[in-house]
Structure 1
């Protein structure tokens, strides 16, 4: 309006698996923003409507979006006005990066996978996960994907077994995405208690470095983060392997060339996923109130859509790092 940008919306289209291997085309709604002095004028609704038209013109089966439960304006717009339905309630787990590295158990072996090996394992063990992208190979080959690692217990297997398609009784894997290369975050408003906590613990750590206290980084200046995606595991004792991989990623962030800017490690898993007990995170920084909503754009998908949203999730949720 008068050469001023007052509203923006973004969307992406991809093919994913839902309900045990069914491939559908979905459109992801993200980045809806309207300038504060132009809100409540229907601009947000116009942007959503136009994006849905673009989805339909590209034969998209479902549109979906993510927001916080506490974002009442967004929830009202999509659920009340546009008919989106609650689909999943994932948990966003955040762990600060400290210069003190974790000491990973000597009984755990961690090996980096080749892209072809990672793709094969993901398709085999996560191919039926909700929203698993059919173009996983493109994600793994993206320059922002730092690699994929697998963990298993020493003596339980060897790397050659993985190469032959065999897996041990307990194993885990994940990939890492460098979101800090795309955008930076900054804490807009910090409570006095948060500021005091950060300063006091940093001071104690400098005076008594031998204690190796977990400190809270400076979030007031722009910073980047690593995103762990494709967290996969099997076996009754694989939770410890997941923790070992997460600690490995933390150490990788603490030692990276850009360590002054990479201040947190983030992952997102299904709200009911027991993995949250094994993934290091601070409740102060994490959120258990993320909300995914979905809408059927084709009439023939309405019946399956109703069953899809009412049935409790039976498979893990794959969060595409390109949509973070």
Structure 2
């Protein structure tokens, strides 16, 4: 759904603002009911799904800002969300975007909720060795097997989508991969990869000439001497593709090493598609966060804000499972359709 703001001057019309939104069913994690002694352990482990709306792409033309257009667009979109049965609405922005945060948490009534980070690693000119632990391998799962695995292992992770099968079968998907030791089925790391030239296109503008020259030199050396394994800066100064890794999870003492191998596999896939970077968005408390390869200078810290929509905003029946009041879980599921 897209809402637009127009300025009409005689027979002419001009779009000066727009916002997009969607409604879907997602997991709110395992419910925390009070007092706990009145509920069984099974109830605590059962994931709670809700109809949730997502706001994205709010834009207002600079000459028309500070006129309340952004707030009106958000309100009109929220009215549509309520008609579609959404209980909550949420949005994401850069944690340093003070103007956007002020609009949503101030005038629109949203609450600061989660603080995930987008971890970014450049794609080098040379292939990376997987460096898998001994007796381990990376396998590609069929969409059906990946669907079963995610529903069994990840349905209690916050923002896990009810239509995970549609996500995994996205035409831009490069597949779902699992890294697992051959000697143990209790240890594994899984991740799905979406990307390529047509999925995400970015460009870095305004870089000085010396930086462009330095990047070109590192790529030339890397391409000429790939066996040295030297890091290089990709050509991000023209439109480049992004491979996005999502649905990360794992268990076992070898999980960090397996995850690093999985990301090297993603890097090599991205290299074959001539992408510029590999990216993943993970929760602040993600247990495997330290093992995700990234350049700290490229990391982007996000802020997710959430709002309970009417008539749910005034309801008391589910006060013990109010998502806004729930503490953050260790992981978060980032839907690649919303990146």
**TM-score scaled by structure 2?**
0.85
Q: Of residues 128, 144, 162 in structure 1, which corresponds to 2:172?
A: 144
Partner of 1:293: 305
Q: Partner of 2:297: helix, strand, or coil? A: coil
Q: Of 265, 274, 280, which residue of structure 1 is paired with 2:287?
A: 274
Counterpart selection for 2:157 from 129, 139, 147: 129
Aligned to 1:215: 232
Task: Specify the SS of the correspondent of 2:124.
Answer: coil
Alignment of 1:135-174 (within 5 A): 135-156=163-184, 168-174=185-191
Match of 2:20 in 1: 10
CA distances 1:66-124 after superposition (whole Å, capped 9, x unpaired) = 00111011000000111100110001001111121111125320111111110111011
Counterpart in 2 of 1:99?
Answer: 125
- C-alpha distance in 2 between matches for 1:305 and 1:200: 59
Counterpart for residue 43 of structure 2: none
Call closer, same or farther: CA 1:182–1:250 in 2, change over 3 Å.
Answer: closer
**CA distance in 2 between partners of 1:111 and 1:63 (Å):** 37
Alignment of 1:58 onto 2:84: yes
Shift of 1:276: 2.0
The CA distance in 1 between the partners of 2:109 and 2:172, in whole Å, is 35
Unaligned runs of 5+ in 1: 157-167
Counterpart in 1 of 2:338?
323
SS at match of 1:250: helix
Distance of 1:111 and 1:182 partners within structure 2 = 23
CA contact (8 A) 1:296 1:305 kept: no
SS in 1 for 2:263: helix
Shift of the 212–88 alpha-carbon distance from structure 1 to 2, 3 Å rule, reads: same
How many residues are matched?
308
Counterparts in 2 of 1:50-89, with a 5 A limit?
A: 50-89=76-115
Contact 1:130 1:315 in 2 (8 A): no
Contact 2:125/2:219 (<8 A) preserved: no
1:198 Cα deviation from its structure 2 partner? 1.8
Aligned to 1:159: none
Contact map agreement 2:20 2:55 (CA 8 A) in 1? yes
How far apart, CA to CA, are the structure 2 residues paired with 1:146 and 1:205?
A: 26
Secondary structure of the corresponding residue to residue 133 of structure 1: coil
Matched, 1:45 2:71: yes
Q: CA deviation at 1:311?
A: 3.7
Alignment check: 8 A CA contact 2:283 2:330 kept:
no
- Cα distance in 2 for residues equivalent to 1:217 and 1:43: 39
Distance in 2 (alpha carbons) for counterparts of 1:86 and 1:186: 29
SS at structure 1 position matched to 2:15 = coil
Q: Distance in 2 between matches of 1:25 and 1:319?
A: 16
> How many Å separate the matches in 2 of 1:206 and 1:97?
12
| CA-CA distance at 1:212 after TM superposition | 2.3
Equivalent residue number for residue 314 of structure 1? 329
Q: Which has the higher contact order (CA 8 A, sep 6+)?
A: 1
Look up the match of 1:19: 29
**Distance in 2 of aligned mates of 1:171 and 1:99:** 29
Determine helix, strand or coil for the equivalent of 1:3. Answer: strand
1:307–1:23 CA distance, 2 compared to 1 (3 A): closer
Please give the secondary structure, in 2, of the residue aligned with 1:268.
strand
